[in-house]
Structure 1
Amino acid sequence: MAITRSDLVSALAEKAGTSKTDADAVLSALADTLLDAVSKGEKVSIPGILSVERVERAARTGRNPATGETIEIPAGYGVKVSAGSKLKAAAK
């Protein structure tokens, strides 16, 4: 089962003792901050929970699975999300 955005907002509001509107605003601000930082190539770290960073992907040769034709895949960027120690421990 997945937690929806509204479930997350409700849980944040309850734990923080604030309104759902304020919790939703904070969640939106967090998302915007993550997006801005990653787009600039900055690493975002929440110690013990997670870290998010932009990583470079080198150009490479691939293969079209439908035709078997060799294609050139250009260099680009990806996103690496790493779980922190507290998050890993919670998954056990």
Structure 2
Amino acid sequence: MNIVEHMEYEWDRFRMDMMCTSRENIFSKASEIIDKRKIYEVISENLEEMSPKEATYICASDSIIDALYNCMMDKRADFVEDTILAHLHEYINR
């Protein structure tokens, strides 16, 4: 599986999880859904700029979107492109 397929798989898996939950739960997770979609979009748009090490790490990760979301929430970071990419590089290169 290449990096593009991996990111699509992760996002599809998350969407399917949300589709299997109640409407109330979806409403309570609206902010999380928006933030994770932003992470997915930023990573997907910047795949060509990833180093081979970063691409390998992303492909080997079971859930890079969830991991990055949790990392950013712990640091109370803003979910904007520059911050997402900075946290991604920091997370991968730790």
Normalising TM by the smaller chain, what interval?
under 0.3
TM-score, L = length of structure 1 = 0.27
Greater radius of gyration (CA): 1
TM-score, L = length of structure 2 = 0.27
Larger relative helix fraction: 2
